């Protein structure tokens, strides 16, 4: 399968900066698919700039409801309407800062699928959980509680982001990354059957040009969910260029 390099811009950039970054990425990458997820206020602009390019545009979150009295929230259908094709759900910053649990992520994922968006479900353990030997069980629980039936056949994506590595510059060892991706693959296949063997599993957590090649070469790593480095076009493209041919 063709790897996916997804960029989570988080809460960064004004209109001019978003346009400049998008324009720099329009050419795409040779060995990987590219996806960029700007803040909601920039999705329409960025999606318009990406028309005719090889770069997809996604969102960073959505509400579980199709519409209603949910001040400040955005539905999956609204995201689709302004040009998004993907949506990140269950990111650790949402789980931590907004108290989202697996049930909330599950409901949002179902809404995304209904709207025709491809969900990217994030899972990952804290440093305390890893040190206590609970990393596998935490991630398996998140997978079991966050992923609905229909996710696999709709092309749903899973991103493993160890919470303690996000934005810290620290990464697990290559052995630890490979082991967790193998655990996720096994859990998905056991639940959903052989079709889950082709589900893209992304690694996220301080991915940068200097470590991308080693990470991309690991088994069951089908791309990356990139945070800070996705805000610099040269770095993001370098990460995509590190995908093995």
Q: The tokens of 49 are what?
A: 């700039």
Q: Nearest Cα to 181, choosing from 136, 151, 118? A: 136
Instruction: Please list the residues that pair with 5 across neighbouring strands.
Output: 34, 224
Q: 3-class secondary structure for the chain? A: CCCEEEEECCCCCCHHHHHHHHHHHCCCCCCCEEEEECCHHHHHHHHHHHCCCCEEEEECCCECCCCCCCCCCCEHHHHHHCCCCEEEECCHHHHHHCCCCHHHHHHHHHHHHHHCCEEEEEECCCHHHHHCCCHHHHHHHHHHHHCCCCCCCCCCEEEECCHHHCCCCCCCCHHHHHHHHHHHHHHHHHHHCHHHHHCCEEEECCCCHHHHHHHHCCCCCCEEEECHHHHCHHHHHHHHHCCCC
Catalytic residue among 91, 100, 125, 181: 91
Q: In sequence order, what are the residues at sequence separation of 6 or more whose Cβ sits closer than 8 angstroms to the Cβ of residue 152?
A: 188, 192, 195, 196, 199
Q: Which residues are annotated as a binding site for substrate?
A: 8-10, 167, 206, 227-228
**How far, CA to CA in Å, does 104 sit from each of 18, 37, 90?**
29, 21, 8
pLDDT score of 1: 84
Distance CA 217, CA 25 (A): 23
Is 17 a residue of the active site? no
pLDDT score of 168: 80
Catalytic residue among 125, 140, 161, 181: 161
pLDDT score of 43: 98
pLDDT score of 170: 82
25, 37 contact by CB (below 8 A): no
Q: Which residues are annotated as a binding site?
A: 8-10, 167, 206, 227-228
Distance CA 204, CA 119 (A): 15
CATH topology of domain 4-241: TIM Barrel (3.20.20)
The model's pTM: 0.96
Distance CA 143, CA 10 (A): 23
Is 234 a residue of the active site? no
Distance CA 244, CA 214 (A): 10
pLDDT tens for the 245 residues of the chain, in order: 899 999 999 999 999 999 999 999 999 999 999 999 999 999 999 999 999 999 999 999 999 999 999 999 999 999 999 999 999 999 999 999 999 999 999 999 999 999 999 999 999 999 999 999 999 999 999 999 999 999 999 999 999 999 988 778 887 899 999 999 999 999 999 999 999 999 999 999 889 999 999 999 999 999 999 999 999 999 999 999 999 88
């Amino acid at each position: 399968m063709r790897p996916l390099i997804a960029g989570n811009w988080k809460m960064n950039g004004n209109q001019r900066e978003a346009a400049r970054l998008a324009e720099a990425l329009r050419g795409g990458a040779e060995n990987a698919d590219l996806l960029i997820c700007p803040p909601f206020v920039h999705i329409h602009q960025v999606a318009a700039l990406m028309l005719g390019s090889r770069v997809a545009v996604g969102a960073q979150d959505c509400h579980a409801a199709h519409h209603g009295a949910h001040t400040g929230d955005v539905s999956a259908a609204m995201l689709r309407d302004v040009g998004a094709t993907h949506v990140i759900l269950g990111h650790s910053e949402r789980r931590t800062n907004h108290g989202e649990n697996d049930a909330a992520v599950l409901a949002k994922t179902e809404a995304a699928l209904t709207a025709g968006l491809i969900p990217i479900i994030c899972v990952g353990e804290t440093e305390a959980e890893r040190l206590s030997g609970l990393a596998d069980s935490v991630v398996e629980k998140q997978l079991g509680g966050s992923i609905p039936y229909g996710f696999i056949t709709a092309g749903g994506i899973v991103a493993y982001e160890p919470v303690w590595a996000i934005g810290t510059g620290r990464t697990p060892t290559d052995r630890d990354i490979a082991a967790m991706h193998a655990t996720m693959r096994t859990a998905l296949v056991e639940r959903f059957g052989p079709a889950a063997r082709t589900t893209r599993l992304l690694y996220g957590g301080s991915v940068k040009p200097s470590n991308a090649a080693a990470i991309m070469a690991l088994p069951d790593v089908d791309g990356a969910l990139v945070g800070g480095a996705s805000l610099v076009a040269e770095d993001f493209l370098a990460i995509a260029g590190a995908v093995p041919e």
